[in-house]
Amino acid sequence: MKTIRWGILGAGRIARKFASDLRLAENCELIAIGSRTRQSAEEFNKEFSVQYCHYSYEELAQNPEVDVIYIATPHNLHYENTLLCLQHNKAVLCEKPFAMNRKQAIEMINLAKEKKVFLMEALWTKFHPHYIKTLEMIQQGLLGEIRSVLVNFGFKPIPPVPARLFDPELGGGTVMDIGIYNVFMAMSILGKPDHIEATMTPALTGVDEQCAILFRYKNGALAQLFSTFSSNLATEADISGTEGRIRLTSRFYEPSSTVEFYKERPDSKQVIPVHKEEGFGYQYEARHVNNCLRHSLTESNVVSFADTLLLMEILDEIRKIAGIHYPADEIW
């Protein structure tokens, strides 16, 4: 079996978690890091001992030994970093949000298609066993007809607060950083909303410090989604239907070893066990990318281009309604 050789672009917090989990995925290795600075690259190298330590993103993209690059930079850079890697015929796994808007996402996908190179949005939750089990139970009809999806995601950043959370240049604000998971969860279960309402509280920098979103569907189903950087919330998802309810407890977007299922009566809780591996949970998506590359695929069948574009389209729409603008936007 071919060993897939990974590079990471941007040596920040998530890069370290991903690098650590890559050790749990089979037949692949992390061989390169690309950083803006020598210091950042070397600090990363001390922790992960890679073969190639590049002091620029360009150098990493040009490394002929690297098969695939994981983009781990702030949101606003995903577009240009992905284009750089694709231009050098490197497969790409790009962190969420895939881009700042749908227009950028289309360009990224078009270049991948033109180059016939693999590209995928790193929507890691889609590969987690508790999420897969949830969808399976819904498809089996255990919840009946779904009537509501309630999701909240909130935390109060601990100082020193990372600049990217509030800086409009870096795509700051809750919707693009954490609200995206709420939107993804509602769309996984109810699909594209027929009507959207959204309102936000601006932070001093103008980006959304918190945002409340409502999706309405023709069949009467509703999704209520809330994200905040002002307070620590439960960060849970409740999916309710005519026959029962599923509750994904604390940090619904991370791997969990259980799915809570309530059949009709609220006191009838069943805890469904699911297998959760050690690690943070990035090895699942890494394995999927490895398999796609071994089969010479250029698009994932789990996180498809259509899925990514629809998510970007809905995020654009939410931002338009709530009044969340970025320098990267040319859509209005």
Ligand X SMILES: NC(=O)c1ccc[n+]([C@@H]2O[C@H](COP(=O)([O-])OP(=O)(O)OC[C@H]3O[C@@H](n4cnc5c(N)ncnc54)[C@H](OP(=O)(O)O)[C@@H]3O)[C@@H](O)[C@H]2O)c1
Count the neighbouring beta carbons within 10 Å of the beta carbon of residue 323: 12
Task: List the one residue from 50, 54, 67, 73 that touches ligand X (CB under 6 A).
Answer: 73
- Determine if 95 is a binding residue for ligand X (CB under 6 A): yes
* DSSP tag of 166: T
**78 contacts 123 by C-beta, under 8 angstroms:** no
The stretch near ligand X (CB under 6 A) out of 70-78, 129-137, 188-196, 218-226 is 70-78
Q: Which is nearer to ligand X, 241 or 255 (CB)?
A: 255
CB of 228 to ligand X, least distance (A): 16
Task: Count the residues of the shown chain that bind ligand X, applying the rule CB under 6 A.
Answer: 23
The stretch near ligand X (CB under 6 A) out of 9-17, 153-161, 236-244, 321-329 is 9-17
- Determine if 21 is a binding residue for ligand X (CB under 6 A): no
Question: What tokens appear for 51 in the block?
Answer: 């073969």
- Determine if 82 is a binding residue for ligand X (CB under 6 A): no
The stretch near ligand X (CB under 6 A) out of 32-40, 84-92, 105-113, 315-323 is 32-40
- Determine if 279 is a binding residue for ligand X (CB under 6 A): no
Cα 60 from Cα 57, distance rounded (Å): 5
DSSP H helical ranges for the chain: 13-22, 38-48, 57-62, 78-87, 102-115, 129-139, 174, 180-190, 283-294, 305-322
Task: List the one residue from 70, 118, 124, 131 that touches ligand X (CB under 6 A).
Answer: 124
**312 contacts 180 by C-beta, under 8 angstroms:** no
Task: List the one residue from 5, 28, 31, 35 that touches ligand X (CB under 6 A).
Answer: 35
Q: What is the b/e burial string over 84-108, where b = at least 16 CB atoms within 10 angstroms of the residue's CB?
A: bbbebebbbbbbbbbbbbbebbeeb
Per CB under 6 A, residues contacting ligand X are 10-15, 35-37, 40, 72-75, 77, 95-96, 122, 124, 162, 164, 170, 177
